[in-house]
Amino acid sequence: MEETCMTPDSFVCVALIEALLSNSNPLLAFEILKKMLHSQTFLDLNGKNHLWLRLREAILKLSKDCSTSSDIMSLTEDGSIPIISIISDIVDEDGKEPIA
């Protein structure tokens, strides 16, 4: 897409990130996430829309992967990823209550 001067929208970016994670390619998924965040190709990150929920799930997976966890932490520390909205949606193992 970049070769044809097209910019993917947030739906395409999230779908690519999810596909790469499911194919065990967290490094490339992280690179797409980083480009998406730096180009601001995303919807309201604090919203409760379905796309953001999917993106948060992908970010959580990347944060648990040893090859990308430090990079996710760096993005969080520089403010690219709003950690509060991610943490507030983490639920305990039974899926009922948020962890405070």
Which DSSP category does 98 fall into?
B
| Residue 21 CB-density burial (10 A; 0-12 exposed, 13-18 middle, 19+ buried) | buried
How many domains does one find in the chain?
A: 1
Q: Which amino acid belongs to residue 84? A: I
> What pLDDT is recorded for position 59?
92
| 65: pLDDT strictly greater than 50 | yes
Which tokens belong to 65? 């992967």
In a domain, 24, yes or no: yes
- Give the residue-averaged pLDDT of 57-62: 92
Which tokens belong to 83? 């950690």
Structural domain boundaries enclosing 14: 2-87
In a domain, 100, yes or no: no
CA angle 75/68/33 to nearest 5° reads 55
pTM to 2 decimal places: 0.72
